[in-house]
Amino acid sequence: MILLKKHIIILILLLINLLASQIDFKIDLTDDKKHTISKKSKAILDSIDDKLLIKVYLKGSLPAGFNLLSYSTENLLKSFNKRNNNITFEFINPDLYNNEQQNIYQQLQEQGLYPTDLKIKKQSETSNKIIFPGAIIYYKERRTAINFLENRIGVSPQININNSIENLEYNFISSLYRILQKNKPNIAFLKGHGELSNLQTKDIIKSINQDNNNLSFYFNVDTFNIKNFELDSNKNFDLNNQLNKINFYDGLIIAKPTIPFNNIDKFILDQYIMQGGKILWLIDGVVADISMIRDNNEFFVARKNNLNLDDQFFKYGIRINSDLIEDQRSTEIPIVTGYSNNTPVQEFFKWPYFPLLFSSNDNPLTKNLDAVKCDFVSSIDTISNDIKKTILLSSSENSRILRSPSKVSLSIIENPPPIETYNLSNLPISVLCEGEFESVFKNRIAPKNSSIKIINKSKINKMIFISDGDLIANKVSKQNIFPLGYDNFINFTFEGNKKFIINCLQYLCGNEEIMNIKSKDLKLRLLDNIKINKWQNLIIIINLIMPLISVLIFILFYNKFITKTYV
């Protein structure tokens, strides 16, 4: 009888084990829900109707942080595969191809993966290792690359790894969304008011590094000259035709205009917004450029950049001020401090008119964003109305304002203002506006055109305002084009500029639900190295000896129980 009961218990356990292996059941008990895929992600995964292969180049002998990134990537891809078995993946170690290593590295870079040069310390020795923390997705005839590693300036490697893990789902899902997308949204750079040239926007449109980090990878990018009107039968500007042409675009980029807008231009843009068009405004509050100091050799006077847009912005709930922000958190410029053998000697000094922007909020557009470099930026005021405003970028806690017209001189380096005068903090530099916008032409006389019915209020729409036109401009020198965010003085590229612009356009004209995946937070639980060193022996005893003691105690109690029951 006892033997029969034992056989029944064993049989039940085997059945339970078999059923458990067939049922995909799990409960995410973590605070940060790091093992839970969002609803939008599930919808995109379910839409994959053909074989999709993901090759991950993060395998081999890696430091602990990158092993964690690799492990997290594998777990995420396993959950993708369980959701849709059309998705398969493999992990590849590029170092295994010893004879063709350089060719493999070159191919990976050509396909859009960025290499990372690691310094690995082993006792007294230090070695270098090149890795490619990323993946390439293959689907039908298409291919796209994903780079995992976040590398924010001034942030510890552990936090950068954690940020990379946080963004894994977003990076994969947004890439899958792009590769599945048949028709890209249409966007255009507005022309006609002295905006940035095609050379100055070349890197953001189509990366000069030939990677996927550009607008053309996400959108069909064009230019639209608002001044090129067709004439109607009465030889007047055909506003209706112009509106039809501009409405073809899901979004417009107005990048650093220098010529005032007339009422016809403003009317076209206003009605474009009223009909659901999205605009990314990059507007300078004052006219200022560091080359003006070199030309005058001493100083220049920064004056208001009069574009005739103040009333329109005010109606939308924004005012770009005619001032300059001076910020203690800024980049450096070289100044000649003397001569040695008739050769000028240069030293680098903080230049408060070139602030570095970091975001402290968890908005999907700016979360984990690298530093954003600005040149002569103005403050933005928000006007009280029914429009929701979200501050995306702001100055540091040690800022001040210089009202225009104002003198900009190198003397601020020689005789810096007292530190206590930098008493303003978090001055808005970029603002997201969302809501039902009211037309600036409501109750006003519009340009003559009887065929146009003015829309006085938009449906729910959104726009983004940035008070620095140079934020999107790459440097051009004798037809040589440098990456966006490149600082020629310190020979460094601030990656945040390009990422921020792409995020803004993705939010305005892409898929907002995908952007919201970035809001997932993973808490970084770091070990305390001081306590580890202090209690090292005790930790070893607990982790090695205690499990053995526990097993021995269990065996003793089990044998005693069996003896007592059956003997």
Q: Convert the pLDDT of each residue in 495-524 to its tens digit.
A: 889 989 999 999 999 777 777 676 555 444
Identify the weakest region by mean pLDDT among 3-17, 383-397, 407-421: 3-17
pTM for the whole thing?
0.79
- CA distances from residue 199 to 191, 288, 412 in whole angstroms, order as listed: 14, 20, 32
C-alpha closest to that of 481 among 239, 214, 281, 293: 214
* Spatial separation of the C-alpha atoms in residues 223 and 550, rounded to whole Å: 72
> In the beta sheet, which residues pair with residue 122?
125
Cα–Cα distance between 12 and 417 in angstroms, integer? 81
Position 171, amino acid? N
Give the Å distances, CA to CA, from 4 to 12, 17, 52, 280: 12, 20, 51, 76
Rounded mean pLDDT of 38-52? 87
DSSP 517: G
What DSSP designation does 480 have?
E
The mean pLDDT value for 240-264 works out to 94
Give the HSE-up count for residue 512: Cα atoms under 13 Å, Cβ half-sphere.
6
What CA–CA distance (Å, rounded) separates 392 from 495? 17
**Average of pLDDT values for 241-254?**
94
Structure-block tokens of residue 262: 């007339």
Q: What pLDDT, on a 0 to 100 scale, did the predictor assign at position 522?
A: 47
pLDDT in tens, 338-352: 777 777 778 888 999
251 falls in which pLDDT band (50, 70, 90)? very high
**Which residues have C-beta within 8 Å of that of residue 135, sequence separation ≥ 6?**
54, 55, 56, 57, 58, 73, 89, 145, 146, 148, 172
Q: Are strands 87-91 and 52-56 parallel, antiparallel or unpaired?
A: parallel
74-83, 139-148, 296-305, 341-350: range with highest mean pLDDT? 74-83
| DSSP 8-state code for residue 423 | -
Mean pLDDT across the chain: 84
pLDDT higher than 90, residue 320: yes
Q: List, for residues 349-399, the tens digit of each pLDDT value.
A: 899 999 999 876 778 888 878 889 999 999 999 999 999 999 999 999 999
Contact indicator for 111, 123 with CB cutoff of 8 Å? no
Q: What is the pLDDT of residue 7?
A: 59
In angstroms and rounded to an integer, the radius of gyration of the C-alpha atoms of the chain is 30
Q: Give the C-alpha separation, 567 to 564, whole Å.
A: 6
Choose between 271 and 566: higher pLDDT: 271
